Amino acid sequence: MAEVTLYHWEPNANSGKPMLALAEKGVAFESRYIDMLEFDQHKPEYLAINPQGTIPAMLHGELVLTESTAIMEYVDEAFGGPSLMPDNPQDRWRIRWWMKFMDQWLGPSFSMLGWSAFVGPMVANRPKEELEALIERIPLPERKRAWRKAMFGQFGEEEIAESRRRVSLGVALIEAGLGKREYMASDTYSLADINIFNSTYSLPMSDPALATPEKTPNIWRWLKAVYRRPAVQRTWAMGRGRLAERFHRIMEDLG
Amino acid sequence: MILYHGDPNGPSLTVLAALEESGLAVECRAIDLLAGERHALPGISERVALDMSVEGEGPVLVCGGEAMTDAIFIAQFLDRQAGHCGLQPRDPHSHWQMMMWCRQVTERLSPAVALLGNLANSRDRLRAMADADFTRLVEAVASADLRERWIALRDGDPDPAQVQDSMAKIDEFAARVESRLEGGRGWLIGGFSIADLATYAWMTGAVLLREEAFAGKPRLEAWLRRAGGRDCVRKALARSKAADPRRSFAPGPEINRWG
């Protein structure tokens, strides 16, 4: 058995964070694919690993680690390879600040818009009783509420509008931030880039009105640089289906 | 470096105590967070973290013109700036545990205590303000969602579901601390750390808001006494301008809006 085992979905959003961090550090890991669209993350065998039913989760020897951003910091500290956190304390503060901004303010809005568009249609053919049973086995009450909203299309106009406002403002703030430094939070590639890339890599396709070479030249420059990183390409080679196809199409379009 | 801080409660207490522990020489300037003074600070050239802080009305450390916010990250900065003063475990797993604990504080405990604390202690003062003064105050708040929390606190009716949920979250967190301290553990993660500071900084005010959450929890009670007795915490509390800093609140983080 490998020293590191990672339970993950596509190299997208949260699952992609430890995948990319491990790849940058050159750490081999055993991959356990958890199909979020089949609700594998709420099955008893996965809940035995992470009782909260959230992905990703990482095993390192006997240790079980959860929460994607915290796992990334662990990976950076526990393994050799290139450092993904600079030594400068203010840069480290800035990296953490941007990661929290994404995890707790901007990311949930990306997620709400994505789920409102995709989860409902994805489960439309499943009987209501089956969906209720799927919801019932979700451990966290807030995740239960989120899945129920998404499965039954219960989003209000106001909350969707608020998510759109946040995405629009968040993208503008990222553009401004990337105008100040080579990378998101420092002049070297860091965990903040991995975190933010994982929620913005698809902007050229998902929100072409918001991110273009003309409107957001700094984001464009940065996306190109991150897409071309060997660790990013190796990681996305592990992707399956629609998201991986989208990744490769955007990479071709970026040139 | 200049630290602008509110009365020592919540995030301001975390940072002031971390600063005491670090021994760093930083100029401290007390500001009235509930008067909106945080939004009129001088000498800031990079302000995104001030304008968009997830934490809400917390302390601001200005370093090289950049506004640094979010108490736990400022405390981590101070620890490292002081050449590791012991506020963060050095081994990666314990450090991960500390960050996981702190995230629970910022996502679950602090929004709950801030909501109840503001309703109990801040609303009357805001309601006593003239409309024109309050309008001027909120117009200076750059973040639209933080501005909405100011307005809801003054002019809105408390949402009973949010109040209930906040009380439940404080109950859960008190039980979590009590359970964590089983087996003679003195501090939450290894030695005294930012996890203890951040938890104490919110729990000490929660005692006045949700007394029943603390009843019958001897380990939690002893830990509160121990943490409150630390030199760094006592010195931070001594900076208070209020009769009881545990009642000092200003609009905090939002209640989780999605998943």
Last residue of a domain, one of B81, B114, B140: B81
Residue A84 falls within a domain, yes or no?
Answer: no
Q: Residue A127: what pLDDT?
A: 92
Residue B172 near chain A (CB below 8 Å): no
- Please, which residues bridge with residue B5 across strands? B30
Query: CA of A89: how far to CAs of A127, A167, B120, in Å?
Result: 53, 29, 37
Q: State which residues form the domain around A155.
A: 89-254
Contact between residue B252 and residue B10 where contact means Cβ atoms under 8 Å apart: yes
Residues B12 and B140 in one domain: no
Residue A126 falls within a domain, yes or no?
Answer: yes
Partner-chain residue, chosen from B63, B77, B259, that has the shortest CB–CB distance to A111: B259
Residues A65 and A114 in one domain: no
Give the C-alpha separation, A117 to A132, whole Å.
Answer: 20
The pLDDT of residue A238 is above 60 = yes
Residues A46 and A125 in one domain: no
Per-residue pLDDT of chain B (259 residues; tens, 9 = 90+): 999 999 999 999 999 999 999 999 999 999 999 999 999 999 999 999 999 999 999 999 999 999 999 999 999 999 999 999 999 999 999 999 999 999 999 999 999 999 999 999 999 999 999 999 999 999 999 999 999 999 999 999 999 999 999 999 999 999 999 999 999 999 999 999 999 999 999 999 999 999 999 999 999 999 999 999 999 999 999 999 999 999 999 999 998 887 6
Peptide bond into A56 cis (omega under 30): yes
Residues B140 and B33 in one domain: no
Residue with tokens 């993660």: B189
Partner-chain residue, chosen from A67, A101, A173, that has the shortest CB–CB distance to B54: A101
C-alpha angle A208/B145/B6, rounded to 5°? 135
Residues B114 and B74 in one domain: no
Partner-chain residue, chosen from A74, A108, A180, that has the shortest CB–CB distance to B259: A108
Residue B195 falls within a domain, yes or no?
Answer: yes
Burial class (CB in 10 A: 0-12, 13-18, 19+), B57: buried
Last residue of a domain, one of B46, B81, B116: B81
Residue A22 falls within a domain, yes or no?
Answer: yes
> What is the domain-level CATH number for residue B58?
3.40.30.10
Contact between residue B153 and residue B119 where contact means Cβ atoms under 8 Å apart: yes
Residues of B in contact with A92 (CB under 8 A): 76-77, 80
**Residue of A93, A102, A186 best to disrupt the B interface, most CBs of B under 10 A:** A93
Residue with tokens 């990666």: B92
Contact between residue A101 and residue B52 where contact means Cβ atoms under 8 Å apart: yes
Q: Residue B80 and residue A145: Cβ atoms within 8 Å?
A: no
Q: Over range A240-252, report the average pLDDT.
A: 89
Q: Residue B73 and residue A100: Cβ atoms within 8 Å?
A: yes
> What is the domain-level CATH number for residue A56?
3.40.30.10
B229 token code pair: 């007795």
Sign of CA pseudo-dihedral A223, A113, A146, B206: positive
Number of helices (H) and strands (E) in chain A: give both, helices first.
Answer: 13, 4
* pLDDT digit string, tens, across residues A122-173: 887 899 999 999 999 999 888 898 999 999 989 999 999 999 999 999 999 9
The pLDDT of residue A242 is above 90 = no
Residue B54 falls within a domain, yes or no?
Answer: yes
Contact between residue B6 and residue B30 where contact means Cβ atoms under 8 Å apart: yes
> What is the domain-level CATH number for residue B107?
1.20.1050.10
> What is the domain-level CATH number for residue A249?
1.20.1050.10
Pick from A190, A30, A9, A161: which is nearest to A96 by CA?
A: A190
B129 token code pair: 């303000």
Residues A117 and A238 in one domain: yes
Q: Residue B259: what pLDDT?
A: 65
Residue A69 falls within a domain, yes or no?
Answer: yes
Number of domains making up chain A: 2
The pLDDT of residue A2 is above 70 = no
Residues A194 and A174 in one domain: yes
Residues B208 and B139 in one domain: yes
Q: Residue B99 and residue A159: Cβ atoms within 8 Å?
A: no
Residues A100 and A197 in one domain: yes
Q: Residue B76 and residue A105: Cβ atoms within 8 Å?
A: no
Pick from A59, A74, A191: which is nearest to B92 by CA?
A: A74
The pLDDT of residue A1 is above 70 = no
* pLDDT digit string, tens, across residues B102-125: 999 999 999 999 999 999 999 999
Q: Residue A4: what pLDDT?
A: 98
Q: Residue A73 and residue B73: Cβ atoms within 8 Å?
A: no
Number of domains making up chain B: 2
Q: Quick check: pTM over 0.95? A: yes
Q: Over range A191-201, report the average pLDDT.
A: 97
* pLDDT digit string, tens, across residues A170-190: 999 999 999 999 999 999 999
Query: CA of A48: how far to CAs of A43, A53, B50, in Å?
Result: 9, 9, 41
Q: State which residues form the domain around B203.
A: 92-230
Partner-chain residue, chosen from B54, B74, B92, that has the shortest CB–CB distance to A104: B54
Residue A83 falls within a domain, yes or no?
Answer: no
Buried b (16+ CB within 10 A) or exposed e, A53-84: bbbbbbbbeeeebbbbbbbbbbbbbbbeeeeb
Q: A30 phi and psi, to 5 degrees? A: -85, 125
Residues A33 and A131 in one domain: no
Residues A106 and A133 in one domain: yes
Contact between residue B233 and residue B16 where contact means Cβ atoms under 8 Å apart: no
